[in-house]
Chain A
């Protein structure tokens, strides 16, 4: 039986309650460490931190609008092989989805981890966040979640959530072992805790949190949020499609690309040890550049930029979880996320596949079905 519990909250002080929750987690025999976003001591930034001692939990801040990286890759590094202990990881829903994709790609394991997700309030882009947070990151987090939870929106001080977050129709940790609910919950007094898998239930059982009920209005509020996000997303797809529906437009769309490959480094599911674009395959012979230039009289340098993005779309769009880190990482403001999400949405729909939904669903290219896409393959 799935466990429904609560975490007490005193006067809207969610951070203190979450810290208490983390402390309790660490007290459990089964848990050796927790991976949780924490504010850095000297800087207004929040980073995933691996904590083994409760007295290092002062900066716990999973509600910050900072999202400097998708933590899935970090968690993959921690779980790739048995580590001798179990980690409780508190992550955003898109991080959990990316982690599940990495598990399917054999880059991570679920055996030594309990995934704890929170209803995601969204995040700002890196530069926006720095502007917003100023010197006091903790105060910034409080202002942010109070505004969002009070229904006043996330747009504060002239900054707003990233496009990826605004287009995110899945800000709920449905594939986590344990979900921490904010929507439809009286967060002034408590947070909702849900066991969603046997592993999650086991842990909650041991923690012995006061049991509770799912508030009746929660589902409606989640549905409403999803609907409005989907509307935003579909408008974004339409605009992106119009901007990229032929090769000339696509060239223009990606014209700013300088082959820095930041988007690929930031992408949580791009898992190759070494990307094909940095191997010899693309280390062309000098005479090749001359031939290309001769063919049309001129060739834009660097070459292979559109090719790079198309290749990444081919390789990874079935695994894209929509976290938006690619756009966050782009130094030249290419709307990479918009293009990637649009294509990913279509490829995943074509294969009836939802990236990050469950470790039990095989990635499309791992399965051979004789009778599919007959209209494409012509058989």
Chain B
């Protein structure tokens, strides 16, 4: 494939890291994706279900452009892409250089298990004597020191938790492939100096470190002795007591550091002198240990230090940009002061523990059983805001995700129980139910209707009820009534925290942190940091759900891409010299079959002669050869020699781990001129593994039969393969952006900055959209200046053709080739050809007739107020009472969605009014305050400043009445639940938060072949995994025509949409996958069912030539068309009916 010289480093392979890496790789950059844990997927490797589908769906992120460059299977299992190099158990050690030209050094944790040799038999686990808590199941189960980090990845070699491992060697002995090289000879030479005045401490440390750790230990009983020792003998680590007679530890440290500045020192301290130890760290101590020692903690800590020191840093890389996508960690309720008895009551669990509890790979195989006694769970309570919106846990922010995951967990648990024929009571105890995302409110309403109970109030305590053998919740509802509920399980909806190691990483990269400990981003950006070329993606920068993480990961990829581009990284390398393959389509098949004999499981009971005879009964099989160690260099050379000698026109390799061979086959193909698609590796080891075990269940098919069948099936498949050339479609390497608001301008600039031409269409006579009436953000940033700056950049950009006062009047086309007709105000039409389309048509404040709007000049909308505040027509000092009403016509049918910006806008306006007139009375009537994320602090501040917040419900709304001359006297009445009384006030001003409605004309959506949702917003391909894409490839949306958002978020979606479009624009022709739908025209009856069945809009009728056509670049090879077509006129390349029937036949033989 065509690759570009630019390279990027992505740190963290969770969902954001994967998204950013794939986006950059699909554009053509080389990506190194590092992950400190031993697996990809981040938190999502532990989560099985996502709302609103209540399923997974991560695979929807797989590459859609040039699909063959990457793997096309479950993304939770693994990710393979030609342009992405994944390094697991790897961290960033250091970085130097400047944007576009960073030199980074990585540090990779060694694994004593050789992944290339490990065959996953699991014998090592059986013999390992060490049992520790399994972090994959959030500590609900245990694992051994040698273990699988996650049960489902490919490849999935075992790992050794070196911190827990005692190096007993049992695993090494039983390993059948000698994959484990356990004994670390280096430890014997690692000299640790223990300095302590107490003999017993010295002795016991020496014993532990030598026997359990395998280290060499020297001792000193005083500071002087220690310093003397250091001069005479090389020491690698010093464990140093603080409180010693004579020279104390800190003094020793200072002197030792003078002599040996690089010597790592760990302080040993009693609890009383912890502060001294902390001080010692400032003058060079590496860490400290608290006495009395916990051996379980001490040895791993020393081993960890040893490993960091003994692992040589490397590899080193040169990259143009760095994406930080390290995810988040979660609040640990054990850190709080007895948080709802978490830790002491086993049936009080965190939300993450609950995810594992009901997972099929969890402790009970997905059955809902109480951790305490294994009894079935019938009643569950979720407690919201644990470690969020809580000053005591230092969290003056909303974690954004907990409301929705709690509802999802309740839903999935109920559904699970219903399937098992039981009823599950689920209650969520909350303060505000923050359903501010697209479709969230309806999801909540559906859940409520299906029986999830939403209880508004605060839970005071959770206690065991010994008599009832359950848990008792004492809580106060919003009216102040105290109630007691009984449940079997309490789930604490824990909030987000900065990822572990954030501080260290950001220090290494030179990035500052915000007041909550997350990386600080630049004004109006959610991804760019103070250092150009170093960007934050996803929840690493704080408080994101999946959809936003994915959006902002694409946005981060864009920022990284821009830096790389500016440094010259977009220069494409010439395609690899095109491999020339012989045309074998007219030859009779001659298959060379090689069978690997290295596995006992395969050779056991396999009669080579009989197998050869059976396979050769098919005339397509030319030869059958048996090879030892196919995957080794030696074995492979033999195989290559066989191919060269016999010149087969198809090659079948029976071995194991097929994914290992992809690159080898490509190379072999180039060497001998045989298309790699005519070669196949079939795994004959894994399926017979069970049969080869001594404890194989009765009736297990003998290995010989299985191997024979698998090979015969592969022969049947190969025999019929006749590779067609990979189709490509041409690309107009330019873009049309519809809408000149902030989203449209941002997208246009992002693409134009990559050197591609952009046609930017705006129906008004000026750019700016809604930013034209906005002044300042809630955090005081100047919107007008920002708009001015952006406008200037757009109008002055040589790659942007600006079309003001213009509309798109007609359009058609597909990914790569769109044709749009634009018409300006004077009726002049012009046609634009473009390869991608970005819809940024925006929206506006909803009109209303509610709450007396229109009957009095004192009743205004938020937009009115913003204008009045800006132009000075409103004087806050003349006001006495202002009432604000939230959710006007919103979050109820027919406009049943949250507009996301209104609560913060009210907070912003209240703040401004209050600042101008501190004695002003402000009352905010709200349903659920949606001050999500860091916005929460403004809500806290507003309450502190004396603004009154009165919650209302749909059955008890506030009322507004205007009378007097011209409606000059306005009365607002409502109900205050805390005092349990109606309230009434005369208001000088009533501000209505009416929310956002989109402006995405149906004809425009239809013209580009995309759908609108029930509220007329752009319908994305998938709300979580493809949030800015249309299902039809090549069309993207951003800003508020996609969903309500604030300015920062709109900009992020615009950057994401631009990045997605760049994947298409980056090449002259868009290649398809090899697995692509085709048509036998002679068989086609033109019933067009395939056209209707295609979810990607890749099929259409060509009425002129009376035939169905497929756009191969849009086709994803899903096969819906082939399944719908009755006579195989529609088929998938490589999955012919003849071939499949042969395979089935071979399987039955």
Interface residues of A (CB under 8 A from B): 105-107, 271-276, 279-281, 287-288, 291, 295, 315-316, 362-363, 365-368, 370, 379
Contacts of B1088 in A (CB 8 A): 106
From the candidates B1085, B1120, B1137, name the one contacting A281 in the complex (CB within 8 A).
B1137
* B1092 at interface, CB cutoff 8 A: yes
Supposing A291-B1149, A366-B1092 touch, asked if A279 and B1085 sit within 8 A by C-beta, the answer is no
From B55, B1082, B1087, B1120, contact of A274 by CB (8 A): B1082
Please state if B1126 and A276 are interface contacts (CB–CB under 8 Å): yes
Q: Is the CB of B1093 within 8 A of A276?
A: no
Partner among B1082, B1086, B1092, B1137 whose Cβ is within 8 Å of the Cβ of A276: B1137
Minimum C-beta distance from A289 to chain B (A): 12
Neighbouring A residues of B1137 by C-beta, 8 Å? 276, 281
Contact status B1093-A279, CB under 8 Å: no
> How far, in whole Å, are A107 and B1085 apart by their CA atoms in the complex?
8
A368 with B1095: CB separation less than 8 A: yes
- A280 CA to B1141 CA in the complex, in Å? 12
If the complex has contacts A107-B1085, A273-B1084, A363-B1089, are A315 and B1128 also in contact, measured as CB distance less than 8 A?
no
A106 CA / B1089 CA spacing, docked (Å): 9
The residues of B that contact A275 with a CB separation of less than 8 Å are 1127
B460 smallest CB distance to A (angstroms): 40
B1124 in the interface, Cβ–Cβ < 8 Å? yes
Q: B1085: which A residues are within 8 A, CB to CB? A: 105, 107, 271-273
Please name all residues of chain B whose beta carbon is closer than 8 Å to the beta carbon of A366 when the two chains form the complex: 1089, 1092-1093, 1124
- How many residues of chain B have a CB within 8 Å of chain A? 28
- Cα-based distance from A67 to B259 in the complex (angstroms): 110
- Specify which of A271, A276, A362, A368 is in contact with B1128 (CB 8 Å cutoff): A276
| Residues on A with beta carbons closer than 8 Å to the beta carbon of B1126 | 272, 276, 315-316
Which of A105, A273, A280, A315 sits near B1138, CB closer than 8 Å? Answer: A280
B residues within 8 A CB of A105?
Answer: 1085, 1087, 1089
Contacts of B1089 in A (CB 8 A): 105, 363, 365-366
Q: How far is the CA of A176 from the CA of B1085 in the complex (A)?
A: 25
Q: A274-B1083, A365-B1089 are in contact. List 9 more A-B contacts (CB 8 A).
A: A105-B1087, A271-B1085, A272-B1129, A273-B1082, A276-B1127, A281-B1141, A291-B1145, A363-B1089, A365-B1124
Chain B interface residues (CB < 8 Å from chain A): 53, 55, 617-619, 1082-1089, 1092-1093, 1095, 1120, 1124, 1126-1129, 1136-1138, 1141, 1145, 1149
Provide the bound-state CA to CA distance between A368 and B1121, in Å: 12
B1149 touching A106, Cβ below 8 Å? no
> Contact: B1127 with A274, CB < 8 Å?
yes
Given contacts A272-B1127, A365-B1124, contact A106 B1086 (CB under 8 A): yes
**A279 to B1083, alpha carbons, bound, how many Å?**
9
| A106 pairs with B1087, CB closer than 8 A | yes
Residues of A within 8 A of B617 (CB): 291
Report the bound CA distance from A3 to B1138 in whole Å.
55
Q: Complex Cα distance A276/B618, Å?
A: 25
Would A281 and B1128 count as touching, CB distance under 8 A? yes
Most chain B beta-carbon contacts within 10 A, residue among A105, A273, A363, A370:
A273
Cα of A219 to Cα of B624 in the assembled complex, Å: 75
B1107 to chain A, nearest CB (A): 12
Residues of A within 8 A of B1093 (CB): 365-366, 368
- B1136's nearest neighbour on chain A, judged by CB, is A281
6 tightest A-B contacts by CB? A315-B1126, A276-B1127, A272-B1127, A105-B1087, A366-B1092, A281-B1137
A-B contact pairs, 7 of them (CB 8 A): A106-B1087, A272-B1126, A272-B1127, A274-B1127, A276-B1137, A287-B619, A295-B1149
**Minimum C-beta distance from B58 to chain A (A):** 15
Alpha-carbon distance between A291 and B1141 when the two chains are bound, in angstroms: 14
**Which residue of A has the minimal Cβ distance to B1120?**
A368
Residues on A with beta carbons closer than 8 Å to the beta carbon of B1092? 362, 366-367
Give chain B residues whose Cβ lies under 8 Å from the Cβ of A107: 1085, 1087
Contact in complex: B1083, A273 (CB < 8 Å): yes
Measured CB to CB, the nearest residue on chain A to B1084 is A273
- Cα distance, A276 to B1083, chains bound together (Å): 9
> In the complex, A105 Cα to B1127 Cα: how many Å?
14
Which A residues are CB-close (under 8 A) to B1145? 288, 291
- Nearest to A379 among chain B residues (CB) is B55
Complex Cα distance, B1089 from A366, in Å, reads 6
Residues of A within 8 A of B1082 (CB): 273-274
CB distance from A290 to the nearest CB of B (A): 10
Minimum CB–CB distance from B1023 to chain A (whole Å) comes to 13
The closest CB in chain A to the CB of B1124 belongs to A365
Most A CB contacts (10 A, CB to CB) among B1089, B1093, B1136 go to B1089
Q: In the docked arrangement, what's the CA distance between A276 and B1136, Å? A: 12
Q: In the complex, what's the smallest C-beta–C-beta distance from B1022 to chain A, in angstroms?
A: 12
Q: What residues of chain B lie closer than 8 Å to A316, measured between beta carbons?
A: 1126
Residues of B within 8 A of A363 (CB): 1089
Please, which residue of chain A has its CB at the minimum distance from the CB of B1095? A368
Provide the bound-state CA to CA distance between A281 and B1131, in Å.
12
What is the CA–CA distance of A279 and B1126 in the complex, to the nearest angstrom?
12
CA distance A249 to B488 in the complex (A): 53
User: Bound complex: CA of A107 vs CA of B1087, how far in Å?
Assistant: 7
Give the complex CA separation of A38 and B736 in angstroms.
62
A275 to B1083, CA, bound (A): 8
Chain B minimum-CB-distance residue to A283: B1138
A273 CA to B1086 CA in the complex, in Å?
9
User: Across the interface, which residues of B come within 8 angstroms of A370, CB to CB?
Assistant: 53
A271 near B1087 with CB under 8 A, answer: yes
Nearest CB to that of B1085 among chain A residues? Answer: A273
Q: How far is the CA of A105 from the CA of B1086 in the complex (A)?
A: 8
In angstroms, Cα B1085 to Cα A274, docked, is: 8
Nearest CB of chain B from residue A300's CB, rounded to whole Å:
17
Which A-chain residue is minimally distant from B1086 (CB atoms)? Answer: A106
Q: Which residue of A lies closest to B1106 (CB)?
A: A81
Identity of the chain B residue whose Cβ is nearest the Cβ of A363 in the assembled complex: B1089
* Residues on the A chain within 8 Å of B1128, using CB: 276, 279, 281
Distance in Å from the Cβ of A249 to the closest Cβ of chain B? Answer: 21
Q: Which residues of A contact B53 (CB under 8 A)?
A: 370
User: What residues on B are CB-neighbors of A365 within 8 Å?
Assistant: 1089, 1093, 1124
Q: How far is the CA of A368 from the CA of B619 in the complex (A)?
A: 43
How far apart are the CA atoms of A272 and B1087 in the complex, in Å? 9
Residues of A with C-beta under 8 A to B1086: 106
Chain B proximity of A258: nearest CB distance (Å) = 21
Q: Which residue of B lies closest to A80 (CB)?
A: B1086
Residues in chain B near residue A273, CB distance under 8 A: 1082-1085, 1127, 1129
- Measured CB to CB, the closest approach of chain B to A344, in angstroms, equals 15
- Shortest C-beta distance, A273 to chain B (Å), equals 5
- Taking CB atoms, residues of chain A closer than 8 Å to B1083 are 272-274, 279
> How far apart sit A315 and B1089, CA to CA, in the bound complex (Å)?
12
Write out the residue numbers on chain B whose beta carbons fall within 8 Å of the beta carbon of A279.
1083, 1127-1128
A195→B1089 CA distance, assembly (Å): 32
Q: How far is the CA of A287 from the CA of B620 in the complex (A)?
A: 11
In Å, the complex CA distance between A280 and B1137 comes to: 9
Contacting pair A281 B1087 (CB below 8 A): no
CA–CA, A275 to B1126, complex, Å?
Answer: 8
- CB A2 to nearest CB in B, in angstroms, measures 32
CA distance A281 to B1138 in the complex (A): 5
List A contacts of B55 (CB < 8 A): 379
Interchain CA distance A287-B1145 in the complex, whole Å? 13
- Chain B nearest CB from A131 CB (Å) reads 37
Q: How far is the CB of B206 from chain A (nearest CB, A)?
A: 60
Q: How many angstroms between the C-alpha atoms of A325 and B1050 in the bound complex?
A: 62
Q: How far is the CB of B806 from chain A (nearest CB, A)?
A: 37
* B618 CB contacts on chain A under 8 angstroms: 287
Kindly report which residue of chain B lies nearest to residue A371, judged by CB atoms: B53
Interface centre among A274, A287, A370, A379, by most chain B C-beta atoms within 10 angstroms, is: A274
Complexed CA–CA distance, A366 and B1128 (Å): 16
**Whole-angstrom distance from the CB of A107 to the nearest CB of chain B?**
7
Residue of A nearest to B53 (CB): A370
Residues of A within 8 A of B1141 (CB): 281
